[in-house]
Every structure is written in structure tokens, then in C-alpha cells.
Amino acid sequence: MTEAILEPDLPIIDPHHHLWDLRPMVPAFPEPQHDFIAAIAGAAYYGFDALQADTKGGLEGGHNIVATCFMECGAYYNPAYGEAKKVVGEVEMVNGVAAQGASGLYGAYRPCHAILGHADLTHGDGAREVLEALMAASPRFKGIRHAAAWDADPEVLGPPFHAPEGLYRDATFREGFKHVGELGLTFDAWLLEPQLGDVLDLARAFPNQPIVLDHCGTPLGIASYKGKLHENFDRWRTSIHALAECENVSVKLGGLAMAFCGLPEDGPAAGYGSEHLAALWRPYIETCIEAFGPDRGMFESNYPVDRWGASYDVLWNTFKRLAQGHSDDEKRALFAGTAAKVYGIEDVLV
């Protein structure tokens, strides 16, 4: 699906995308897992060249992507560093991509200008050493994500996800979590709509820790939740408004094109245009912006996972349609300013 770019001059910081190479791993996966990865990702490889092709960063004909933020995805771990610190390899690899972009060969575009890595906070106080190693690996390292997505129905998430139930309430996890704030790092939270009470409890327990809720809280429309988006909407909305009362929480506006949400149900790359997708996503996006305000909301691509529902150009056109009723200042916050503030990369907007 191709569309003319709406508001082509509007600066965008894409605050959430991945880079990975799953090709060496795919042959070893059980067949259902192989299908799951193929479905949500659309490709076993997504590197800098693929990111360039989607963002058209520094090139004519695309949205005005001025910078991006890499989000951890379990890729490029280096086992030579030991089990706890193997995560440093991912940050090192992505820092190389960022340096490539900063060379000026791609114009003013700054890919991976902020890097969000991973550290296993269930190591408790032992997580601090890992966090410090991640900080030493790149000046662009800004924080971590430790996903907590869990559901009693194993068909919801599929085999790649193994977070324990109630992770964000676990005492040992919280021992590790306190070091994130002490080191001045951000924390991205990914979990599912029925679990939103867990991140609310975490945010209240650590009111000074910046927390970013990924993917609008991931409403569910697959497996045992299929056909229940409308039924569960009020519960989701109540949770979003409760989270918004925590001033330390921001929200990423996106992720709705994931297969988990079923918005749309028929992917990947079903070919829907931005008008259709805007109609599907409007209740969720408008609720989040109403609750958090533009200064604590940021549109995200979640690429390549959201390739399930939309091409990169169509995705950002959808967001622009959803933001049409906002002022120029509010748009600047939603598309770039909030991400720049939260992840400390205001320099790209100077």
C-alpha cells in the first residue's frame, strides 16, 4: 500500500523500533514458533539497510524522520560476556549503527540516537553491575526495557515470550528496579491489557522513576480474547486513566498494528490505507492522548513488528490523521518533543 506523505515537513522522532537477525535461529525453532515470528515480524532480518528503506531517513520521498530510538529485542547478545552481561552485545552493535548514521552520510538523520537495552532485573542488586556495563558500552544508552507480558492462555503470546506472572510486583525484581532510577535511566514497560494493574502498582511504588508504557498497554484481540476488544475497552480505558494520574508515566502511541491486538485481524500487510487504520485505532489513541496529554504521549512505529498491519509510510500517515485536531505545538510534542525529552535527545530538534 502506497500513499502520498501527509505533512511531509513535520519532524518525527521514531521512539521505538528494533534491529535483529533471526536467520541463524529460525531453523531451530519449533514450527509454531517459526510461524509466529514470520507473522509478527514479516522478516527474519531487519538491519540498518531495512530501517533506511522504511524510514527513508536522509532521503527524499518519506516522512521527515529526524531520529530514531532503538528498543531492545534480544538480538546480537554476546555470550563471551557471560550470561548476565551478554545483553551488552546488543547495545554495542546498535551503537555502531548509530555511529554510521552520525557520520553525516545520511544527512541530518540520526538513527538509533537513543538506545534502550535490556538487563534482567530479577538479579536484584546484581543488576546494577549489568546496568553500568550497558552505560559504558555507549553514550547513547538511555535506559532499559524488561518486558512482563504474560497471559494464562499460552496462545496469546506464543513460545518466544516467557515472562513470569506478576513480574513487576516481584520483590527481587524491584531490588533491581531501584538501580535503574539511581543511575538516571528510563524504564520501558511492556505487558498486556489485563496486566496493567501491575505497572500501575510499580509506578506508584517508584514515583520518581520515569516509566514509558509501550503500545497503548496492548489491548488484546486474539486467541481467547478474539472478538472481545469492545467488551474489554472500558477496563482498558479505566487502567489508562489511572496510569495517567502517575506523573512519572508516559505512553507510546502505537503497537496497535501488532497481531496481538487484531487491529486489523487480517495481516500481514493486508493493504489497508491510513483512513481505515485511523478509524480502527482512534478510540485507543484518543483515549491515551486525552489521559496523558501530548507532553506525555509519543507516536511510535514499533517496526518491523507493526508491519503486520501497515507499511511504514501508511503507519505515520495514520498517526497524522489521528492528530489532525491538535495544535502545531501539540503535534510537535506527539511526533518528536515528548520522545526527545523522555530519552534526552533534544539536540536533534535544535
326-344 pLDDT, tens digit each:
999 999 999 999 999 999 9
pLDDT in tens, 176-221: 999 999 999 999 999 999 999 999 999 999 999 999 999 999 999 9
Grid look-up 553525516 returns 104
Q: Write down the mean pLDDT value for the chain.
A: 92
Cell numbers that stand for 97 in this block: 549503527
35 phi and psi, to 5 degrees?
Answer: -65, -40
Statement: residue 33 has pLDDT above 60 = no
Residue 45 has pLDDT above 70, yes or no: yes
Give the domains, in start order, of the chain with CATH numbers. Answer: 12-345 (3.20.20.140)
In percent, the amount of the chain with pLDDT more than 70 equals 92
Q: Does the structure show a pLDDT above 60 at 3?
A: yes
Question: Could you read off the pLDDT of 117-169 as tens digits, one per residue?
Answer: 999 999 999 999 999 999 999 999 999 999 999 999 988 987 666 799 999 99
pLDDT at 324: 97
Closest CA relative to residue 250, chosen from 302, 286, 201, 215: 215
Q: Percentage of the chain surpassing pLDDT 90?
A: 82
Contact 254, 319 (CB under 8 A): yes
- Give the max Cα distance, the chain: 52
Give 3-state DSSP helix, strand, coil % of the chain, rounded to 5: 50, 15, 40
pLDDT, residue 36, reads 47
- Decide which of 262 and 244 is more confident: 244
d(CA 305, CA 46): 10
Backbone angles phi, psi at 30, to 5 degrees: -60, 150
Q: How far apart are CA 199 and CA 249, in angstroms?
A: 10
Q: How far apart are CA 129 and CA 4, in angstroms?
A: 48
pTM: 0.95
pLDDT reported for residue 267 = 64
* Per-residue confidence (pLDDT) for residue 208, from 0 to 100: 98
Residue 50 cell numbers, joined: 531495512
